Amino acid sequence: MYLAAVRLVFVLVVSATCYWIHPFQLSREVDAALGAGLGVTIVLFEWLLRQVSLKRLIGAAIGSVLGIIGAFLFAQVVRSSVPAGPTQSFLQILVMLVMGYVGLALGAYKGDLLNLSALGGFFGGEQPGRKSCKILDTSVIIDGRIADIGETGFLDGAVVIPQFVLRELQLVADSSDSLKRNRGRRGLDILQRLQKDRHLQVQIVEDDFPAIKEVDLKLIELAKLTGGKIITNDFNLNKVAQVRGVQVLNINELANTLKPIVLPGETMRVFILKEGKEYNQGVAYLDDGTMVVVDNARKMIGKTIDVSVTSVLQTTAGKMIFGKWDERGWTGGRVTTQSGFVTPGAVSVPPVSGSASGMSAEQKPEIA
């Protein structure tokens, strides 16, 4: 907001200067209007320069200087070979404009080839910082897990939060819907945690793309401009960014990768929470939210049982585990419920191969 006020004051100063100095030899009102137009043009030029990288700015400056030097040398040749007159003046001005423009354009285009990190000092962090920056979108800020990841020190480089993401987060926090309002306020609290984290270098950037309305597309353009990576939980943004050649770090994919590996044949203890879609199925959930579908477990709803894993299905939405409960191992003993009580009447038969007396496991049940 303060930057917009500075720009407005600059335009007013230029307009007032033209009004009093009277540079265009027209009426004072026309001079003031032309001065205001000149100020607006300079502000627009400054706004465009803000979106250009430091390497391109330095390349454009070097190219312009070299172009002006070349134009001066060509102008000396024109002055000595062309008689004085309008033609000579025109050629000198033309050479100056052409050489200056070509130097500026080529310098800006080739500026990305400069290795500013080799100079050290102020330029030492230019290349690594831009290449390793992480751009956060609204969904990952509201989710909150990014703050926990940052506290572990796994995030390197700068964490970039665009101004248009902050505006969207503010709109969510000011929503009339209580659920959205709470999510927005949670996102603002997460931002404060990120800024206080000593492991992170949080930067608020004002780069915007007024021609683009969607926030997701603005994030993609900002990532292409800075060479950074987008951190998101949005599945659609993930796919669109990959199609456009932008690297994406998805928190959900990271969480799925870090889930414990379960192999078919292993035994796990789960709490049957509800009935499954298929006949005689029960559904349980692990601590990380992974769904476990158990066959023959419908009558065990509300109880904790041991199941044998039969298969594991990995999908884009997460992981599903399929298991089977062998009711032959429960013949009337007791089963632990969620409240910690036990129900009498079930006998747990461990997989004992035999005993010293030669009896089988079914002949010598062990009461749980």
- Residue 317: the pLDDT is 64
Flag whether the pTM goes above 0.75.
Answer: no
Residue 260, SS3?
coil
pLDDT along the chain (368 residues), means of 10: 79 87 82 88 82 77 89 87 84 88 84 60 46 84 89 83 90 89 91 86 84 88 87 89 88 79 86 88 85 88 89 76 78 46 41 38 38
Range list of H helices, 235-353: 235-243, 251-257
Tokens of 324: 């089977």
Q: What secondary structure does DSSP assign to 114-137, as a single string?
A: --GGGG-GGGTTHHHHHHT-EEE-
What is the β-pairing status of strands 291-295 and 318-324?
A: parallel
Residue 14, SS3?
helix
Tokens of 41: 């043009």
Burial class, 367, CB count within 10 angstroms (exposed 0-12 / middle 13-18 / buried 19+) = exposed
- Cα–Cα distance, 213 to 211 (Å, whole number): 7
Domains and CATH numbers, the chain: 2-113 (no CATH), 127-257 (3.40.50.1010), 269-325 (2.40.50), 328-368 (no CATH)
- Residue 329: the pLDDT is 59
Tokens of 108: 């800006």
